[in-house]
């Protein structure tokens, strides 16, 4: 009788991690979506602040290169362009609207002109 109890307890203990790991690796469907990524033809917003210098450098119909934030820390010689955007309109005092012309742009990327950078916000990111 004691051997049967030990066998049942041993099997239960050995099978518990399998059940727990199966529950831990299942993800909700909303997390699988690629929110925050814009491809060619998608509309994005750029935060440029309120300085006159930023407004002058990011004019309408300008095509601007986009970089990932990590690339900016390594200096000019190590930057790699991830896409291009075209400025389409001014939205309020702090935002511009643009369309992705080439490449893939993500939330948090930077559109960079000669001395000014704008933070990119992909429209609809975070929504289900």
CATH number at residue 47: 2.40.30
Do 39 and 53 lie in one domain? The reply is yes
Question: Strands 63-67 and 105-106: what pairing?
Answer: unpaired
pTM above 0.85, yes or no: no
Query: Which contiguous run of DSSP H or E holds residue 96?
Result: strand 95-103
Domain membership flag for residue 37:
yes
* Residue 127 domain flag: no
Domain holding 15, by residue range, is 2-29
Residues forming a β-bridge with 67:
81, 110
| pLDDT tens, N- to C-terminus, the chain (128 residues) | 788 888 888 888 887 776 666 555 555 554 444 558 888 999 999 887 766 666 677 888 889 999 887 655 655 556 678 899 999 988 877 888 999 999 999 888 888 887 788 888 887 544 43
**In a domain? residue 81:** yes
């Amino acid at each position: 009788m004691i051997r049967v109890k030990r066998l049942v307890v041993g099997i239960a203990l050995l099978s518990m991690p399998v059940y727990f790991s199966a529950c831990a690796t299942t993800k909700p469907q909303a997390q699988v979506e690629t929110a925050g990524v814009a491809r060619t033809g998608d509309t994005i917003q750029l935060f440029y602040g309120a300085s006159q210098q930023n407004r002058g450098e990011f004019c309408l119909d300008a095509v601007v290169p986009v970089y990932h934030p990590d690339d900016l820390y390594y200096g000019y010689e190590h930057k790699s362009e991830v896409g291009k955007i075209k400025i389409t309109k001014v939205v309020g005092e702090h935002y511009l609207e643009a369309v992705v012309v080439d490449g893939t742009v993500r939330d948090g990327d930077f559109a960079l002109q000669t001395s000014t950078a704008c933070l990119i916000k992909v429209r609809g990111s975070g929504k289900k």
